[in-house]
Amino acid sequence: MKTTATFLFLSLSLPAYADFAQVTDADGYANIRSQPSPNSKIIGKVPDGAIVTLLYDEEDDGWRLVSYQTPQGRTISGTMHYSRLKSIHSYPELPSASSDNQFGCGMRPYRLTVKTGAFDFPLHRQDFTALHNKEYNIYTFTRYKRKPAIGNDGTPPTLAYRSIVLNGKQGHSAVPEADFDNLFQPNVQYHSCFYNRKTDTIYLFARNSDGAGSYNALFIFTKGRYIKRLIDDNQI
């Protein structure tokens, strides 16, 4: 009972924080449980090699609160033992450089380039959904192109991604615009790349912020091809 109470306290009181980790389990999968105990109910299974979101930067006797999005799009949140997790940041970091609006990283034969730029809010105003506070006559912009607007903290965004492209021996692979067009206020100074040599996978990690609208994003490339994007769940 003491362990459970401590874990619930951490979950409710800590500030929102997220990171990403790869599941590593010789059995081929790891269990997500309802409570931080090996005897608690199994509420989901995550295949070996899959990526989960670590929702808080805290452990409770070796357990972490995680969130996993299934291939069918369902999100499962619960606890997983940290011995089954390998942080993305534990992989070797690739050499990188950044300027005001561009980030690059890589090693032969790969080169990943991120470009950002000013966002013309008046031009795209019709694509936003807003909540109107009539008392103060304030609009909060919560959705963009019918998706959650992430990183703008409800205000008109001023910065956005332009492109994310990986060049390699098999040509180039670009992240589709639909996978980044609702991610605002990117900060290239806080982008980094990590490389899993065993699977030939590059993880592009981005920690973006506009005050209270901070969020983490992960773009995954395997064998030179773009695979998927993950966003920390507290922003969805």
pLDDT band at 210 (very low <50, low <70, confident <90, very high): low
The β-bridge partners of 172 are: 167
The mean pLDDT of 197-220, rounded to a whole number, is 91
Can you give the pLDDT at residue 57?
A: 63
The mean pLDDT of 8-31, rounded to a whole number, is 69
Report pLDDT digits (tens) over 49-65.
Answer: 999 999 876 667 889 99
Considering the four listed CATH numbers 2.30.140.10, 1.10.1740.10, 3.40.50.300, 2.30.30.40, the one that applies to the domain covering 2-89 is 2.30.30.40
Per-domain residue ranges of the chain = 2-89, 96-235
pLDDT band at 73 (very low <50, low <70, confident <90, very high): confident
The β-bridge partners of 122 are: none
The β-bridge partners of 132 are: 139
Is the pLDDT at 2 greater than 90? The verdict is no
